[in-house]
C-alpha cells in the first residue's frame, strides 16, 4: 500500500494518500503466532522486491511427513538407549506402547523455517541456517 517497490521510500504523503486502505480491516489476516507474522512479512518483502503488489492471501504450504524410523532416529539422537528399559518404547516400533518423544513435534516448524525459499528476500541481508 505504501510502497510499490522495496526500494521506494515510505513517505508521510503515501501514508496519507492510502490511509483508508491502510485502516481497512476487511481483508485483514489474523497472525496467531510469531512464526506466522514472520512468514507474512517475508512474503510481502518478496513481492515488493519483485515490484508487485502484496498478495491478499497465500495458498503455499508444505507437508511434513515422518515414519516410525524417523521417530526412532530422533529418539536415538537425543540420547534414548535400549540399556534403559523405560526407553525401549521409544526405540522399538512393535512395542505395545510405542511412542514419540514430545519434542519431536518441533521438527515440522524447524523444517519449514530452514526450507523456506524466501529466506534471502531482504535486500542486503543473507541468512544461512546451515
pLDDT in tens, the chain (130 residues): 677 776 777 788 888 888 888 888 887 777 778 877 888 888 877 777 776 444 444 445 557 788 899 999 999 999 999 999 999 999 999 999 999 999 998 888 777 766 655 555 555 666 665 5
Q: How far is CA 24 from CA 15, 33, 57, in A?
A: 13, 22, 15
Please tell me the predicted confidence (pLDDT) of residue 62.
Answer: 58
Q: Residue 127: which H helix or E strand, with range?
A: none
Is residue 95 within 8 A of residue 89, CB to CB? The reply is yes
pLDDT (tens digit, 9 = 90+) per residue, 4-39?
Answer: 776 777 788 888 888 888 888 887 777 778 877 888
Q: What domains can be seen in the chain, in order of their start residue?
A: 1-60 (1.10.287.4290), 62-130 (3.10.129.10)
**Closest listed residue to residue 55, CA positions, set 1, 17, 16:** 1
Amino acid at each position: 500500500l505504501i510502497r510499490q517497490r522495496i526500494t521506494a521510500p515510505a513517505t508521510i504523503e503515501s501514508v496519507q494518500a492510502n490511509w483508508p486502505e491502510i485502516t481497512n480491516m476487511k481483508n485483514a489476516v489474523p497472525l496467531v503466532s510469531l512464526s506466522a507474522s514472520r512468514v507474512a512479512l517475508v512474503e510481502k518483502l518478496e513481492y515488493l522486491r519483485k515490484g508487485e503488489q502484496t498478495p491478499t492471501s497465500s495458498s503455499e504450504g508444505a507437508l511434513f511427513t515422518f515414519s516410525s524410523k524417523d521417530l526412532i532416529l530422533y529418539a536415538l539422537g537425543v540420547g534414548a538407549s535400549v540399556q534403559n528399559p523405560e526407553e525401549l518404547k521409544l526405540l522399538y516400533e512393535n512395542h505395545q506402547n510405542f511412542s514419540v518423544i514430545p519434542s519431536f513435534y518441533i521438527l515440522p516448524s524447524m523444517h519449514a523455517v530452514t526450507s523456506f525459499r524466501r529466506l534471502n528476500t531482504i535486500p542486503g541481508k543473507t541468512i544461512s541456517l546451515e
